[in-house]
C-alpha cells in the first residue's frame, strides 16, 4: 500500500512515521509512506500557501490553487483522497480496516490555519476527523490515520493475527493483559491466566468483553 501525505511540515511527519511499527513496515516493503511539501507548489516568490478569507473573519485560509497543484502531482486512478478536517466523518477502526483492505493509494491532505478553500472539496473523496476537537493542523490526524491503517496490512507484524485481537476489532473492550512477575506490590495475575486452560481463558476474555 502507498500512502502520500500532503503537508506543510514533512519533517514533522517523518519523525513520527519513519520509526516504530510503521517504519518497520516500510523497510519490509509492506507500505510506502511519502511526503509532499505543499509549499513547493506556491506560485509566488514568497512561498505563500494561504490568504485572508473572502467575506472577512479571523485567521488565514489555505489556497485552493496551491493545494490542487500539489494534489495533481500525486493522484492516479487508484488514489483515494481524504482531507483531515475537524467536521469530517469520524475515523474509526472499521474505517481503518476498510482503507487497509480496499485502497491501494491513500492520499491525505493535512489542513492548516483556519481551514482550506472549500473548492478543494471538488477533488477529494472524503473529509475525515479523528475526534470532536480542533487541532492546529492536520499532521497529527494524518499520522494517526496512517498508523492505524498500516498496522492492519498483511506482513506488518511478524506474527499474523496480532491486529485481529484488539479493542474495536475482536473486542469492544480489550481484556487486561499481564506478564512477569506473577505478583507485584500485592497484586496477582488472575488465576485463570496461570492455569493453561485455553478454553477457560477464552471464556474469561469473552466475559470481560461483555462488561
Domain with residue 192: its CATH number is 1.10.1270.20
| Residue 164's pLDDT band (cuts 50, 70, 90) | low
98 inside domain? yes
Decide: 86 and 31 in contact? Cβ < 8 Å. no
Chain centroid to Cα 81, Å, comes to 13
Instruction: Clarify whether residues 32 and 105 are in a common domain.
Output: yes
Give the CATH number, domain containing residue 82: 3.40.1280.10
Return the bridge partners of 82, or none: 108, 126
Instruction: Clarify whether residues 89 and 10 are in a common domain.
Output: yes
Strands of 61-62's sheet in order across: 50-51, 61-62, 115-116
- Residue range 172-180: average pLDDT? 84
d(CA 83, CA 137): 11
Instruction: Clarify whether residues 135 and 201 are in a common domain.
Output: no
Instruction: Clarify whether residues 51 and 84 are in a common domain.
Output: yes
130 inside domain? yes
Instruction: Clarify whether residues 77 and 181 are in a common domain.
Output: no
Within 8 A by CB and 6+ apart from 12, the residues are 139
Least confident piece of the model among 20-24, 40-44, 57-61, 161-165: 161-165
pLDDT tens digits for 33-89? 999 999 999 989 889 999 999 999 899 999 999 999 999 999 999 999 999 999 999
In total, how many domains does the chain have?
2
Write out the residue range of the structural domain in which residue 139 sits: 2-150
* Per-residue model confidence (pLDDT) at position 62: 96
158 inside domain? no
Amino acid at each position: 500500500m502507498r500512502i502520500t501525505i500532503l503537508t506543510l511540515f514533512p519533517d514533522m511527519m517523518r519523525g513520527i512515521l519513519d520509526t516504530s511499527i510503521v517504519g518497520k513496515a516500510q523497510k519490509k516493503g509492506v507500505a510506502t509512506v511519502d511526503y509532499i511539501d505543499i509549499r513547493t507548489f506556491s506560485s509566488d516568490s514568497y512561498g505563500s500557501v494561504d490568504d485572508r478569507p473572502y467575506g472577512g473573519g479571523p485567521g488565514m485560509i489555505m489556497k485552493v490553487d496551491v493545494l490542487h497543484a500539489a494534489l495533481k502531482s500525486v493522484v492516479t486512478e487508484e488514489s483515494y483522497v481524504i482531507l483531515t478536517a475537524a467536521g469530517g466523518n469520524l475515523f474509526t477502526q472499521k474505517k481503518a480496516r476498510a482503507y487497509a483492505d480496499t485502497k491501494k493509494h491513500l492520499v491525505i491532505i493535512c489542513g492548516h490555519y483556519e481551514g482550506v478553500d472549500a473548492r478543494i472539496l471538488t477533488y477529494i473523496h472524503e473529509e475525515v476527523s479523528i475526534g470532536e476537537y480542533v487541532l492546529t493542523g492536520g499532521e497529527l490526524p494524518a499520522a494517526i490515520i496512517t498508523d492505524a491503517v498500516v498496522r492492519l496490512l498483511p506482513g506488518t507484524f511478524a506474527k499474523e493475527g496480532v491486529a485481529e485481537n484488539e479493542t474495536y476489532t475482536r473486542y469492544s473492550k480489550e481484556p487486561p493483559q499481564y506478564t512477569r512477575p506473577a505478583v507485584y506490590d500485592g497484586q496477582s495475575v488472575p488465576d485463570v491466566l496461570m492455569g493453561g486452560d485455553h478454553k477457560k481463558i477464552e471464556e474469561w476474555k469473552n466475559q470481560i468483553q461483555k462488561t
